[in-house]
């Protein structure tokens, strides 16, 4: 069953009725709700309440006066605001909207609460709380929870409006509430309204960010810059053998780039419109190339991509690369396995590869631990998005997309969420490049480290390996 409701009582009644009709069903229950900035919600609410698309023609001046009258109806605005959110926050122990907003900003525009308590009208249901300003990420968020769904972007309620109404709608959207109007709604609209305003910092901001949904005639000059804007840079800075080769190949082929150098620590690709793709397996080399490009081309956007994978698959893949296994066709399986065990015992080689990129990124971005990021990835479906902790960071203005290779089947959707124009294509695996050694490679992947080997490797380096092992419960 799918239902849409603008009040929790009718929604709870419909859910309970459905469960009464199918008492033994093993179905799941997902509640979805959203929030948006008051600056865009108020004119949109007015447009819906007054059905302005069907209303008789009126001058802009008359409509603006009527909108200001609407803003003065604080009780009516509060009633619309209170129709769902207070009950949902209570039933799912969501705390305040401001607390939920902080969670959304941390994970990329959503939070998941629940399941609701057994005595709740929504018992057993999870709540997906979405932020409209991040609606470009809704397809991948929804797909992570309902994998079989096909996300459809519906039309805004103003899309079918008469052409002569479009300027009126833009006028409402552009209207900036006076300090007095804001204060009146904030003070007398109820607890939720004040929490809502605080969540968006609406009492302090001079202007809300424009929302595409309200305007049927967006100004092309106001188009948001994307990662395909001129002078942009996309940099893969991460641990070897965690999928960066395929990622970078998709980006430089998409932009029709040409390889600049052959430094094994940092490949750079020069692209049309002064764009650049960087693929680095060393933090310092990657950041140097990034800084050089941004100093010369400050007008573009900046995206950093890194990834992680399970130690059990990373070790044999790293070994295959470091030993250039495709050239070892004359080695027996026994010789190869013994050499692999020797590789695992070489602390210097393991640490050099493990700590070559991630620790630097973890200092610049609010990672917490790898285990904390894994929790976020579990919610998102295999990724997290972070912003630098300081405006003085060398990555200031660069988002970090952190991927997990175990969910690489979702990478096309995740990458398209960040770079909508790109069509992601999968690249060949190591074993497919030397099929004559497929059995040897399978033997390495099937080898299960002993408890002694795991314990020893977990002590390597400055704590990263232990965190990595904990992240995957590898011990």
pLDDT value of residue 154:
63
Q: Name the DSSP class of 264.
A: T
* Band (217; pLDDT cuts 50, 70, 90): very low
The tokens of 420 are what? 């909508």
Q: Is 135 helix (H, G, I), strand (E, B) or coil?
A: helix
The tokens of 313 are what? 């698959």
132-188: pLDDT as tens digits: 988 888 887 887 778 777 777 665 555 556 666 778 888 888 999 988 899 899 988
pLDDT value of residue 15:
87
**Three-point CA angle 464, 141, 308, nearest 5°:** 20
pLDDT value of residue 137:
81
421-463: pLDDT as tens digits: 787 777 665 556 678 888 888 999 999 999 999 999 999 988 9
360-400: pLDDT as tens digits: 999 999 888 999 999 888 888 889 988 887 888 999 989 99
Do residues 302 and 226 make contact, with C-beta atoms less than 8 angstroms apart? no
Q: What is the mean pLDDT of residues 330-343?
A: 92
What are the two backbone dihedrals, phi and then psi, of residue 177, each rounded to the nearest 5 degrees?
Answer: -60, 140
Determine the Cα–Cα distance for residues 170 and 166; give it in Å rounded to an integer. 6
- Crossing angle of helices 311-322 and 347-354, in 10° steps, is 110
- Provide DSSP, 279-304: EESSHHHHHHHHHHHHHH-TTS-EEE
Determine the Cα–Cα distance for residues 258 and 98; give it in Å rounded to an integer. 46
Q: Which of 306, 268, 308 is nearest to 290 (CA)?
A: 268
Which residues lie across from 131 on neighbouring strands?
35
φ/ψ region of 375 (left if φ > 0, alpha if ψ in -120 to 50, else beta) reads alpha
Average pLDDT, the chain: 85
Which residues lie across from 401 on neighbouring strands?
305, 385
284-321: pLDDT as tens digits: 999 999 999 999 999 899 999 999 999 999 999 999 98
pLDDT value of residue 401:
93
Determine the Cα–Cα distance for residues 234 and 302; give it in Å rounded to an integer. 6
Higher pLDDT, residue 124 or 166:
124
pLDDT value of residue 216:
32
* Band (22; pLDDT cuts 50, 70, 90): confident
CA atoms within 13 A on the CB side of 446: 7
220-253: pLDDT as tens digits: 333 445 788 899 999 999 999 988 778 888 899 9
* Band (218; pLDDT cuts 50, 70, 90): very low
Do residues 108 and 380 make contact, with C-beta atoms less than 8 angstroms apart? yes
Non-local (6+) Cβ contacts of 104 within 8 A are 110, 111, 129, 131, 134
Q: Give the range among 138-152, 187-201, 210-224, 348-362 with minimum mean pLDDT.
A: 210-224
The tokens of 38 are what? 């008051």
Determine the Cα–Cα distance for residues 170 and 205; give it in Å rounded to an integer. 20
Asked whether residue 340 carries a pLDDT value surpassing 50, the answer given is: yes
Determine the Cα–Cα distance for residues 35 and 41; give it in Å rounded to an integer. 9
pLDDT value of residue 48:
87
pLDDT value of residue 221:
39
Do residues 149 and 143 make contact, with C-beta atoms less than 8 angstroms apart? yes
Q: What is the mean pLDDT of residues 403-408?
A: 92
pLDDT value of residue 465:
94
87-108: pLDDT as tens digits: 999 999 999 999 898 888 777 7
Q: Which of 326, 325, 307 is nearest to 407 (CA)?
A: 307
Q: Is 364 helix (H, G, I), strand (E, B) or coil?
A: helix
In the chain, % helix, strand, coil (3-state, to 5) comes to 50, 10, 35
Percent over 90 (pLDDT), the chain:
43
Determine the Cα–Cα distance for residues 345 and 238; give it in Å rounded to an integer. 23
Do residues 426 and 414 make contact, with C-beta atoms less than 8 angstroms apart? no
Determine the Cα–Cα distance for residues 55 and 448; give it in Å rounded to an integer. 71
29-81: pLDDT as tens digits: 999 999 999 999 999 999 888 888 776 677 888 888 889 999 999 999 999 99
């Amino acid at each position: 069953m799918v239902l849409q409701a603008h009040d929790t009582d009718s929604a709870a009644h419909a859910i309970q009725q459905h469960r009464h009709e199918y008492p033994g069903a093993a179905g799941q229950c997902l509640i979805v709700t959203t929030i948006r900035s008051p600056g865009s919600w108020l004119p949109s609410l007015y447009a819906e309440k007054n059905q302005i698309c069907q209303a008789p023609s009126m001058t802009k001046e008359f409509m603006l006066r009527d909108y200001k009258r609407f803003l003065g109806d604080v009780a009516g605005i509060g009633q619309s605001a209170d129709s769902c959110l207070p009950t949902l926050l209570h039933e799912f122990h969501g705390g305040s909207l401001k607390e939920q907003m902080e969670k959304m900003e941390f994970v990329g525009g959503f939070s998941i609460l629940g399941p609701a308590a057994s005595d709740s009208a929504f018992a057993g249901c999870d709540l997906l709380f979405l932020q409209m300003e991040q609606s470009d990420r809704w397809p991948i968020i929804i797909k992570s929870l309902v994998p079989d769904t096909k996300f459809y972007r519906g039309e805004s309620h103003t899309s079918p409006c008469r052409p002569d109404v479009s300027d009126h709608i833009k006028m409402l959207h552009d209207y900036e509430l006076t300090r007095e109007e804001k204060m009146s709604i904030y003070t007398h609209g109820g607890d939720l309204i004040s929490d809502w305003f605080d969540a968006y910092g609406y009492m302090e901001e001079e202007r809300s960010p424009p929302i595409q949904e309200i305007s049927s005639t967006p100004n092309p000059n106001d188009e948001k810059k994307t990662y395909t804007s001129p002078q942009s840079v996309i940099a893969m800075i991460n641990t070897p053998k965690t999928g960066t080769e395929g990622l970078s190949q998709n980006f430089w082929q998409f932009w029709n780039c040409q390889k600049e150098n052959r430094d094994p620590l940092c490949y750079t690709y020069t692209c049309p419109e002064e764009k650049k793709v960087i693929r680095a397996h060393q933090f310092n080399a990657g950041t140097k190339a990034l800084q050089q490009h941004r100093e010369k081309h400050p007008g573009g956007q900046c995206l950093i991509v890194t990834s992680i994978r399970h130690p059990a698959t990373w070790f044999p893949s790293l070994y295959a690369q470091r030993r250039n296994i495709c050239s070892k066709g004359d080695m027996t399986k026994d010789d190869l396995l013994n050499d692999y065990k020797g590789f695992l015992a070489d602390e210097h080689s393991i640490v050099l590869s493990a700590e070559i990129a991630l620790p630097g990124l973890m200092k610049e971005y609010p990672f917490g631990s790898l285990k904390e990021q894994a929790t976020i990835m579990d919610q998102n479906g295999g990724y997290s998005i972070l912003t630098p902790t300081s405006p003085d960071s060398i990555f200031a203005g660069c988002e970090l997309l952190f991927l997990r290779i175990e969910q690489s089947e979702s990478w096309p959707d995740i990458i398209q969420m960040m770079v909508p124009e790109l069509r992601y294509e999968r690249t060949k695996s190591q074993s497919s490049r030397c099929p004559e050694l497929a059995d040897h490679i399978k033997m390495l992947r099937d080898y299960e480290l002993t408890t002694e080997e795991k314990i020893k490797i977990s002590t390597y380096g400055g704590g990263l390996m232990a965190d990595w092992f904990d992240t995957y419960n590898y011990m």
